[in-house]
Amino acid sequence: MPFCKLNWITVFCLFIPAVCSAEDVLKIDNGVTSVGIDRSKGAAITWLSSKDYPGNIVNIADPGRLIQQSYYAGRHLDRTAEGQSKAWSPWTWNPIQGGGVGSWARASTFRRDDGVLYSETTPKLWDMPNEEAKAIMRQWTSFEPSLPNTIVVKCEFVSQRDEGDRWGPVALRPQELPACYFTRNFNRVVSYLGDGEWRPEKQPPGPPWGKAAPPKNAMACFNADGQGIAVFSPTTKGHWNFGPHAGGLSNDPTAGPCMHVAPIDRINLAPKSTFRYRYWLVVGDRDTITKSLDVLWQKYSSEHSELTHP
């Protein structure tokens, strides 16, 4: 199956109201940056703002948006006879932190400890209306020391599939590390080249998404006022997917139109395996983001993901 179709995953789905009660959201706020996770949405990141952009940057229109963990493994299966979405058939084993095409995922553990947001989530399989994956996603979200405009996110994915299940043996699949969706007004996409230089990236509304190769493993989306959100994912080795979905410049987090960024790496996820990686989110104007990315590159450019098979 072409990879461009695979990356439609987080755009079109059965609409689910993005409404939650206050107790379902945990935030940390240092006066410069605020980030939050939502228990009712798989404990994915559903809130990100800064003192200069107090609104929510994250698109939360459906379970495939958000800023979240997303993985692929095994063979493509046609399970339409079992209720699989026809729009997503055939499909791989694809656990999503936010949920599937018809339901949100559940977080079994959800807490804030000493400035760290911690969660454990049982993800849903994207192609099915309400099927939990045999997997656990753990996540630690906190502020990067000495960089108040920067969030560091540690992700752990534990695959608990049965050996010999219908999805078959290990297969090399592209992974989104992570999948990010922002409000549509952050429409100016750039790749960071280092030494304060940025390269504009152009792509018509998709999917299919555009592909970029940022040499410093960082891309950013800016709005018309110069405020932006950058993603730094040092462990990725492939291209990055990016682009707008639909038109307009809405700043509504629940609207259909959005902006997408996803660092891509190809990983062999076996039925029994554990995968760990980290990424960083940086907010602010271009100068502020540039300075933070230079620090992150100096400290973490040699970082690798970790894959173990028991």
Q: What is the mean pLDDT of residues 98-116?
A: 96
Of the candidates 162, 9, 174, the one whose C-alpha atom is nearest the C-alpha of residue 91 is: 9
Locate 144 and state its tokens: 């990067």
244 vs 1: which has the higher pLDDT: 244
Q: What is the mean pLDDT of residues 238-260?
A: 98
Determine the Cα–Cα distance for residues 123 and 232; give it in Å rounded to an integer.
Answer: 24
Determine the Cα–Cα distance for residues 191 and 259; give it in Å rounded to an integer.
Answer: 15
Strands (E), 150-213: 150-160, 172-183, 188-194, 197-200, 210-212
In which domain, by residue range, is 198 found?
3-308
What one-letter code names the amino acid at 254? Answer: T
Which tens digits make up the pLDDT trace of 17-71?
A: 444 454 799 999 999 999 999 999 999 999 999 999 999 999 999 999 999 999 9
Of the candidates 176, 173, 175, 178, the one whose C-alpha atom is nearest the C-alpha of residue 268 is: 173
Question: Among residues of the chain, what percentage have pLDDT more than 70?
Answer: 93
What is the pTM for the complete model shown? 0.93
| 271 neighbors 293 (Cβ within 8 angstroms) | no
| 143 neighbors 152 (Cβ within 8 angstroms) | yes
Q: What total number of domains does the chain contain?
A: 1
CATH at residue 280: 2.70.98
